[in-house]
A = this chain, B = another copy of it.
Amino acid sequence: MSTAAAASPIRVLVWGENVHEQVEPHVAAIYPQGMHTTIAEAIAEKLGDRVVVTTTTLAELEHGLTEEVLADTDVLVWWGHAAHGDVADEVVEPVHQHMLSGLGLIVLHSGHWSKIFGKLMGTTCTLRWRSEQDRERVWTVNPTHPIARGVPNPIIIDAQEMYGEFFDIPAPDELIFISSFTGREVFRSGCTFRRGHGKIFFSPGDQDYPVYYHNDVRKVIANGVEWVVRDRVAREIPVLLRYETDDFFSGHGYTGPIESHDEVPADAPVA
């Protein structure tokens, strides 16, 4: 089983808003095919035949995140910035379900404010911000973590938007990078979270500056892809089950909290 999983390439889908690139000429100049394409190319460059990478955008039907697409994706890389509100709740919900069932998720930088990240974190995900060409240093504070592999300490990004604390997220399960900026703000820029049966990596990145061409940023994202992918093959969401005493493996479907135990309440969970 695990050998089979090792042999099959990781199926990565890079989701990009593709709004800035359409709306702002200076962004289109940096990313003529859209940021999602640059990010996808970075992952393919770093991981070669260990991955199969595709892209999709907000404008697609169901934002390109149909049930079939999600079921065939191992890692979803999410980039958004200007149009978080345009992502339909009806699309966010299945993405949430798939993530909790084992779909790996990488949220890039301004994706901090995406609906999917907010839903998973349960907090506002707000932060301090400035867009003035700060220089960013990304410091490794977890040197044994595979996501920190193969990059210098610090990573220096010459031109960058500033993100600063207090970054309203839950304390990360693992804190990998802390960034500083020219203005001396700090930011927990590389964080991992395990949720349900899936894994999340929140990563540095941006849109106004050519940061997705930065070799070390590309390496970090690629490391993130390898880390968030699940070992388990079958995708399943945690379910509430009832277990008899001494029978640990045959859970029964939950039939409700009321004593009669045979009516299925309207609010019984689907997954």
- The residues of B that contact A254 with a CB separation of less than 8 Å are 129
Knowing A178-B186, A238-B166, A267-B84 touch, does A232 contact B128 (C-beta < 8 A)? no
Report if A119 contacts B (CB, 8 A): yes
Interface residues of A in 118-177 (CB under 8 A from B): 119-124, 126-130, 132, 134-135, 137, 139-146, 149-150, 152-154, 156, 162, 164-168, 170-171, 173-175
Query: Quick check: which of A54-62, A68-76, A239-247 contacts chain B, the rest being far away?
Result: A239-247
- Once the chains bind, are A149 and B231 in contact (CB under 8 Å)? yes
- The residues of B that contact A239 with a CB separation of less than 8 Å are 124, 126
- The residues of B that contact A2 with a CB separation of less than 8 Å are 149-150
Closest-CB distance, A201 to chain B (whole angstroms): 12
Report if A188 contacts B (CB, 8 A): yes
- The residues of B that contact A246 with a CB separation of less than 8 Å are 183
Closest-CB distance, A157 to chain B (whole angstroms): 12
Q: How many copies does the complex hold?
A: 4
Report if A257 contacts B (CB, 8 A): yes
Grouping DSSP codes into helix (H, G, I), strand (E, B) and loop, the A interface class, with mixed when no group exceeds half, is loop
- The residues of B that contact A199 with a CB separation of less than 8 Å are 144
Report if A218 contacts B (CB, 8 A): no
- Once the chains bind, are B164 and A258 in contact (CB under 8 Å)? no
Q: How far is the CA of A113 from the CA of B181 in the complex (A)?
A: 28
- Once the chains bind, are A184 and B185 in contact (CB under 8 Å)? no
Report if A198 contacts B (CB, 8 A): yes
Contact partner of A139 among B84, B165, B195, CB < 8 A? B165
The interface centre, meaning the residue of A150, A154, A179, A188 with most chain B CB atoms within 10 A of its CB, is A154
Size range of the interface on A? 35 or more
- The residues of B that contact A178 with a CB separation of less than 8 Å are 165, 178, 186, 188
- List the 6 closest pairs (A to B, CB-CB), nearest first: A85-B267, A168-B238, A126-B240, A120-B122, A183-B245, A180-B184
A-B contact pairs, 23 of them (CB 8 A): A20-B258, A81-B257, A82-B257, A85-B265, A100-B168, A113-B240, A113-B269, A123-B196, A124-B239, A126-B239, A128-B242, A132-B244, A135-B184, A137-B186, A139-B185, A142-B171, A143-B166, A144-B199, A162-B243, A164-B243, A170-B194, A175-B175, A183-B245
